[in-house]
Amino acid sequence: LVSLSWGLDLLIRKAIMARYRYPHLASCRLLTANVVEISFPKTAAFCYNPGQYIYIAVPSVSMFQWHPFSISSSPHQSK
């Protein structure tokens, strides 16, 4: 039962939500040796509050590795 729940969670979060709900095109820029800027257009489904973070996966690297990134823009900005 536990492995079934884990598999269902993996399917929902990784396959369905990542593929259909969130933006796919992003631009990356290395600011310093320890800071990366990732910019992407916001969709209507992308809602957040200041101080939150998001998990980002790079499917060309691995579909199963998700990394946390801080959100540092205003919810009122378009990009």
The answer to whether 25 and 40 are in contact (CB under 8 A) is yes
Please check the confidence at residue 56 and state whether its pLDDT lies above 70: yes
Global confidence as pTM: 0.52
Band (52; pLDDT cuts 50, 70, 90): confident
Band (67; pLDDT cuts 50, 70, 90): confident
The answer to whether 45 and 22 are in contact (CB under 8 A) is yes
Top pLDDT among 33 and 42 is at 33
Top pLDDT among 73 and 40 is at 40
